[in-house]
Each structure stands twice: as C-alpha cells, then as structure tokens.
C-alpha cells in the first residue's frame, strides 16, 4: 500500500498549496520497520497552481489514496475526498519520520500545534462546512462494534476483539451482521484483521468505543472514518445518534497498542 506526502524539500509542506513534490512511501502496519520511499515526483509548480484535480489524478495514477499534508481548508479536503483521496491534514515534520509514524501508529505526534487552521478565518470556514460534513455522515454504510447481531444489541466498546459488527445501510435501512470471531482468536493483529472485515463489508464509517493505533491506521488506509467513545448504548441508539450528527470523526486513536484504553 502507498501513502503520499505533500512535501517541500524533504519535509511535509506547511501548506498543501505550497507543496512542490509528492513523496510516495510503502509500508506494512504489521511491521512498521518496513517503510520505504517508493517514488519522489517533482511537480511543475506548487499544488496551488497545479490544481486539485491534477493532484488527485497523480495520486490515482500512482494507486495511492491517502494524502498526508500540512494546513488545508475544509473545502479543499471535501474536493479531494470527492476525487477518492483520503486526507490526513495538519501534519508537519521530516517526510521520512512522518511516513514511519504513519505505520507505527504515532502520527498524532506530528500534528501541528492547534491543528485547526490558521486563525479565526480557518475556524469560520470549517464551521460553515460542518453541516455538509454532517449530511455526508448520514449517507452510506456504517459499521458498529456489537455484542450481538441486531440493533437491540449493546455496542461492544472493543474494536479488534469485538464479538462482531452490525452493518447498516443508512440509505435503505438494511441491516446485516459480520461475525468477528476469527479476530478474537488471534494473539496479535486482531485490530488489523477486524479492519479488513469492516472494509469488506463496504462501510465508510466505524462506530466503536476504543480503537488502537495500528487498527486506526488500517481503517484510515481503507478510507474508513472512525468514531470513538461510543459505549453504554444499544447499536440502534448509536445509529440514531449518528444520523442526528451527534458524533465527531476522530483524528487519532484513543487506545494504546493492543486496544487498551489510553
């Protein structure tokens, strides 16, 4: 799997628009030490002049769907998401170190101070886009970690070792269940296997209690947004709260390696 870093020199560009090269890295979430720079692509000009469509096209051509970058507006993120690019914004640091952190589950250590934008203007722009984000969250397929197969089952606060996942299509209200017993029996890698189960179900959002760093990275790599701290309620209640836009997508895992609470 490839990830792309929008860089200026050998560092992640402070602003996406100022990036003049794309660095593509390969890695393995099961073995964070196996991170390699695959390709460095020099751009004919900064991303701001190149355009977002061209940026998306270059990433699709390279078969990379995850972009780690510096400061970026909410509108730009939406445009890139529409082009099939999953954006991890407000990241800073040396490119090699950032890539290593991505697969080791410590990318939050490279978040820029504040990581909400430059000043009140950026905050206002993000505020204007919250309604759009909430509408997007009310569409598609979601997965909820569950202690049982139905909407009346309780949410399982564990992710990797959850009993299973209730899958809900918010457009048709269809409900199905994915058993997670195989992941429960694994000594290691349960979170990564569970992430694959969720991805195969077609879900674009996961609702759970606690998600560890490697599982969080695996979910993000599959383009699955993570909603955490969901517990003490039934699956049906969690679905309704999600429909009402009462949950927030997480920017970082809330559990330590192994799924233990942070």
125 and 159 together in one domain: no
What is the pLDDT, as a whole number, of residue 112? 80
Lowest mean pLDDT among 30-44, 118-132, 162-176: 118-132
pLDDT tier for residue 29 given thresholds of 50, 70 and 90: low
252-255's contacts with Cβ under 8 Å and 24+ in sequence apart are 252/107, 252/108, 252/111, 252/216, 253/105, 253/108, 253/211, 253/212, 253/213, 253/215, 253/216, 253/226, 253/228, 254/210, 254/211, 254/228, 254/229, 255/159, 255/210, 255/211, 255/212, 255/213
109 and 18 together in one domain: yes
What is the pLDDT, as a whole number, of residue 181? 81
158 and 203 together in one domain: yes
76 and 169 together in one domain: no
Q: Is pLDDT of 25 > 90?
A: yes
CATH number of residue 78's parent domain: 3.30.420.130
pLDDT tens per residue across span 201-243: 989 899 999 998 888 878 877 778 899 999 999 999 999 999 8
Cα R_g (the chain), whole angstroms: 18
Question: Please, are residues 153 and 177 in contact by the beta-carbon 8 Å criterion?
Answer: no
Question: Please, are residues 104 and 3 in contact by the beta-carbon 8 Å criterion?
Answer: no
162 and 84 together in one domain: no
* Longest Cα separation, the chain: 55
Q: Give the distance, in angstroms, between the CA of residue 6 and the centroid of all CA atoms in the same chain.
A: 17
pLDDT tens per residue across span 159-203: 999 999 999 998 889 999 999 887 666 656 678 888 888 988 989
What's the rounded mean pLDDT across residues 80-101?
A: 89
Structural domain boundaries enclosing 16: 2-132
Q: Is pLDDT of 32 > 80?
A: no
Neighbours of 165 (CB within 10 A): 28
Cα–Cα nearest to 209, from 144, 135, 133, 123: 144
Last residue of a domain, one of 88, 110, 132: 132
143 and 125 together in one domain: no
Last residue of a domain, one of 70, 97, 132: 132
Q: Is pLDDT of 116 > 50?
A: no
Question: Please, are residues 26 and 14 in contact by the beta-carbon 8 Å criterion?
Answer: no
Cα–Cα nearest to 95, from 214, 223, 4: 4
What is the pLDDT, as a whole number, of residue 74? 79
Q: Is pLDDT of 252 > 60?
A: yes
pLDDT tier for residue 119 given thresholds of 50, 70 and 90: very low
What is the pLDDT, as a whole number, of residue 185? 62
CA-CA distance, 26 to 42, in Å (whole number)? 18
149 and 67 together in one domain: no
121 and 227 together in one domain: no
CA-CA distance, 251 to 137, in Å (whole number)? 15
pLDDT tens per residue across span 150-166: 999 999 999 999 999 99
DSSP string, 2-68: EEEEEEETTEE-SBGGG--EEEEEE--TT-TT--EEEEEEE-SS-HHHH-HHHHHHHHHHHTEEEEE
Mean pLDDT of the chain: 83
What's the rounded mean pLDDT across residues 38-65?
A: 89
Count of structural domains within the chain: 2
Last residue of a domain, one of 100, 132, 164: 132
């Amino acid at each position: 799997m490839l990830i792309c870093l929008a860089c200026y020199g050998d560092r992640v560009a402070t602003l996406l628009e100022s990036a003049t090269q794309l660095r593509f890295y390969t890695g393995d979430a099961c073995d964070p030490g196996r991170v390699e720079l695959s390709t460095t692509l020099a751009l004919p000009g900064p991303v701001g002049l190149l355009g977002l469509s061209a940026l998306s096209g270059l990433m699709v051509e390279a078969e990379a769907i995850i972009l780690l970058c510096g400061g970026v507006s909410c509108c730009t993120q939406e445009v890139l998401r529409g082009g099939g690019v999953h954006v991890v914004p407000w990241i800073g640091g040396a490119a090699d170190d950032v890539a290593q952190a991505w697969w080791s589950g410590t990318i939050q250590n490279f978040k820029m101070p504040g990581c909400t934008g430059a000043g009140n203007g950026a905050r206002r722009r993000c505020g204007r886009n919250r309604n759009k984000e909430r509408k997007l969250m009310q569409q598609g397929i979601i997965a909820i970690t569950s202690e049982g197969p139905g909407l009346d089952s309780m949410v399982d606060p564990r992710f990797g070792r959850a009993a299973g996942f209730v899958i809900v299509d918010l457009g048709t209200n269809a409900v199905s269940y994915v058993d997670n017993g195989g992941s429960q029996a694994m000594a290691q890698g349960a979170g990564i296997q569970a992430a694959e189960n969720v991805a195969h179900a077609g879900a674009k959002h996961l609702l759970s209690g606690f998600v560890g760093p490697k599982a969080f990275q695996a979910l993000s790599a599959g383009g699955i947004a993570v909603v955490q701290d969901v517990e003490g309620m039934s699956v049906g209640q969690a679905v309704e709260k999600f429909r009402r836009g009462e949950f927030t997508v997480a920017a970082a895992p809330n559990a330590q390696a192994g799924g233990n609470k942070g």
